[in-house]
Amino acid sequence: MVFRKKSTVIVLALVNKMLAQVKEDPASVLALYNDVRRNITTNINTAMMVYLAQQASGMHFSGDIVNVPGTSVMGAQKHAEYQVNPDALLEMVLDIFYEPVDG
């Protein structure tokens, strides 16, 4: 539990630092992507990355970090892949964000 709390603090500090940098220069997200692109696969193009970075730079992130339900597996290209459990993800999203409306 202590490890998870420390990890959360570290990740939150990193996110806040990146958001401050992106707020000054949204295109700086591309340098970060170039640093990690050998280790990730995405279908998000660079224009979308910059757009999403601009949107995220105005957000506030709390320490409430949740894990997306799924499993890690070895992919066809011999890279680790995280396969999301879509039913469990939907349930988690509804638990977190759904608010019934009276009426």
> What are the pLDDT digits (tens) for 23-36?
888 888 899 889 98
The residue range of the domain holding 94 is 67-103
Tell me what pLDDT residue 2 has: 58
Q: Are residues 73 and 100 in the same domain?
A: yes
Mean pLDDT of 91-102: 92
Tokens 């349930």 belong to 91
Taking the C-alpha atoms of residue 30 and residue 51, their distance in angstroms, rounded to an integer, is 11
The count of domains in the chain is 2
Q: Are residues 11 and 30 in the same domain?
A: yes
pTM: 0.57
Q: Are residues 59 and 9 in the same domain?
A: yes
CA angle 85, 68, 9 (to 5 degrees): 165
Taking the C-alpha atoms of residue 72 and residue 94, their distance in angstroms, rounded to an integer, is 23
Res 4 pLDDT > 70: no
Q: Are residues 59 and 79 in the same domain?
A: no
- Work out whether strand 80-84 and strand 70-74 pair parallel, antiparallel, or are unpaired: antiparallel
Q: Find the DSSP H helices in the chain.
A: 2-24, 28-36, 46-57, 86-97
The percent of residues above 70 in pLDDT, for the chain, comes to 95
